[in-house]
Every structure is written in structure tokens, then in C-alpha cells.
């Protein structure tokens, strides 16, 4: 399970999709943990073409021994969560679908242990996301 704050996540990532995905994966791995043996391995894990370099310049990621990528990103105030993180590295979904899913899941509070979010809370353009299903007036989260 990953606890996150959508606002902190997207602003630290400068609203850039690859960065949002990397920082979410970093939350999953944990603070000061290795994300990959090098840039290439991290890109292969997350199925992305590159790591935005400002993540290193802003010290959200740092280089470790042997050029490994180390997480230095933390959330100050968790507000939402996802139960299963495997979609982050799945090749079945696009980066866009993954990031939109994180946005949708952020509508569920930490206190809510269910998988339903009222459909009215979700932007209409996000309702076609392949990581959710629509059931009556609810959005059902798959992860």
C-alpha cells in the first residue's frame, strides 16, 4: 500500500507524467532506498524512456554507489492511498492511464477503506480510464 498526497506528488513532479510515476514508485520503495541500479534499469522497471533530470537537481533522487538511483522523496501529509502498486510497472497500461488513475484514487481519503468513489467527483474526461470501472454512480478502483 502507498500513502500519498496528490498535490505534493504532482507539484514536486512539476506536473510531468514520468516524474509523477517515478516519485510514486519511490514512495513504494521507501525513503533512502534504491530505485534501480542505474537510470536505465529504473526506466525499464517503469516502462518510461527517461528520468527527468530536475528530479536529481532538486535532490528528490540522488546517485548512489555505482550510479544507482536512490529515493530522497517523502510525503509530508498523506491524504490518499492505493492498495496494489503493481500497475506502476505494468506494460498493459500507458503512463497517462497510470497518472490519471493516481489522480482519481486521490479522491478517496485515507479513512475510506472501500474501492468506490462517487462518479461526480471525477472529471468527465478521466472516466474512460482502463484502470477503473463505472458502476451506477460510482467509480470502482481496480488497485
- Name the phi and psi angles at 33, rounded to 5: -105, 155
pLDDT tens-place string over residues 87-143: 999 999 999 999 999 999 999 989 999 999 999 999 999 999 999 999 999 999 999
The closest of 127, 142, 7, 32 to 88, measured between CA atoms, is 142
Number of domains in the chain: 1
Is 43 among the domain residues? yes
What does pLDDT average to over the chain?
96
The reported pTM is 0.95
Residue with cell 477503506: 113
Q: Dihedral angle at the C-alpha atoms of 139, 141, 55, 63, nearest 10 degrees?
A: 180
Q: 60: domain range? A: 1-111
Dihedral sign computed on CA atoms, order 64, 11, 16, 45:
positive
What is the rounded CA–CA span in Å between residue 118 and residue 69? 38
Amino acid at each position: 500500500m502507498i500513502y500519498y498526497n496528490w498535490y505534493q506528488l504532482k507539484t514536486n513532479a512539476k506536473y510531468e507524467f514520468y516524474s509523477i510515476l517515478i516519485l510514486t514508485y519511490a514512495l513504494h520503495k521507501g525513503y533512502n532506498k534504491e530505485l534501480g541500479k542505474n537510470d536505465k534499469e529504473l526506466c525499464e522497471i517503469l516502462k518510461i524512456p527517461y528520468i527527468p533530470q530536475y528530479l536529481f537537481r532538486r535532490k528528490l533522487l540522488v546517485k548512489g554507489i555505482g550510479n544507482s538511483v536512490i529515493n530522497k522523496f517523502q510525503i509530508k501529509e498523506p491524504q490518499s492511498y492505493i492498495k496494489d502498486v503493481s500497475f506502476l510497472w505494468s506494460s498493459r497500461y500507458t503512463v497517462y492511464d497510470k497518472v490519471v488513475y493516481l489522480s482519481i484514487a486521490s479522491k478517496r481519503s485515507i479513512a475510506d477503506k472501500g474501492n468506490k468513489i462517487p462518479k461526480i467527483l471525477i472529471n468527465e474526461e478521466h472516466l474512460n480510464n482502463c484502470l477503473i470501472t463505472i458502476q451506477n454512480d460510482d467509480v470502482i478502483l481496480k488497485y
